[in-house]
């Protein structure tokens, strides 16, 4: 019971921190994480509320782990699915109200803060794609699978943004330095945080190719 309570608290905390971080990413306008780059592209071409769009996309992504490995789907998945998009909306709106007209220095500080707080403790539908891939293809470690899925999201997000008529300066607000950093380092960082924070908190031993 205590372990389950810990898992729920960690999942909600991880989703809220991640959502706040993505909102900060967006307000800093120096690039968002790869999955959010894809979401920005979809948001540019699909005229519905971002939080609702996030839920729809993740329900579609849920099909993959349901078919490939249902063990990756749990309470944390649904907390992420239904909560993260709306936390991002709230965070971006709050940053816009509290920190209007940020200069480059302020945007860089905001970016650094958002990178620090990006530590997803819950398995989302998007995370599950790289997890299942790494476990089904045992020769490919999770960090590399995550780098490949992140890179694919960046390319698709950029293409969608440009197809919507977005200019290159506007594009770099969604796909910028933060996007490159997270695309190549998010997978290794997730593995690091799981080994040093998440699993020790739950009393779990380190596992190969798992978060």
**pLDDT for the residue numbered 160:** 93
207 assigned to some structural domain:
no
Q: Which domain holds residue 108?
A: 2-202
- Cβ neighbors of 84 (< 8 A, separation 6 or more) are 15, 18, 19, 22, 54, 124
How long is the chain? 211
pLDDT value for 117: 46
Is residue 71 a part of any domain in this protein?
yes
State the Cα–Cα distance between residues 192 and 119, nearest whole angstrom: 10
The number of distinct structural domains making up the chain is 1
Mean pLDDT in runs of 10 for the chain (211 residues)? 72 77 73 83 91 92 84 79 86 82 62 48 73 79 86 92 83 75 74 66 51 39
3: left (phi over 0), alpha (psi -120 to 50) or beta: alpha
Residue 144 located in a structural domain: yes
With respect to residue 49, please indicate whether it lies within any of the assigned structural domains.
Answer: yes
* Inside any domain, residue 78: yes
Q: Is residue 41 part of a domain?
A: yes
Residue 21 lies in a domain: yes
Asked if residue 208 belongs to a domain, the reply is: no
């Amino acid at each position: 019971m205590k372990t389950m309570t810990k898992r729920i608290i960690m999942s909600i905390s991880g989703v809220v921190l991640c959502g706040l971080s993505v909102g900060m990413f967006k307000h800093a306008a120096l690039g968002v994480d790869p999955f959010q780059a894809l979401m920005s592209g979809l948001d540019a071409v699909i005229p519905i509320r971002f939080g609702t769009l996030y839920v729809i996309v993740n329900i579609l992504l849920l099909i993959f782990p349901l078919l490939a490995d249902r063990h990756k789907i749990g309470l944390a998945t649904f907390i992420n699915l239904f909560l993260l998009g709306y936390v991002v909306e709230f965070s971006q709106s709050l940053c816009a109200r509290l920190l209007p007209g940020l200069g480059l220095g302020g945007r860089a500080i905001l970016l650094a803060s958002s990178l620090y707080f990006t530590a997803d403790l819950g398995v989302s539908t998007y995370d599950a794609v790289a997890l299942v891939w790494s476990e089904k293809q045992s020769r490919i470690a999770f960090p590399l699978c995550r780098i490949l899925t992140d890179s694919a999201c960046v390319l698709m997000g950029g293409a969608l943004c440009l197809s919507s008529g977005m200019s290159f300066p506007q594009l770099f607000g969604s796909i910028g330095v933060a996007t490159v950093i997270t695309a190549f380092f998010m997978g290794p960082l997730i593995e690091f945080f799981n080994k040093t924070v998440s699993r020790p908190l739950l009393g779990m031993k380190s596992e190969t190719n798992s978060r």
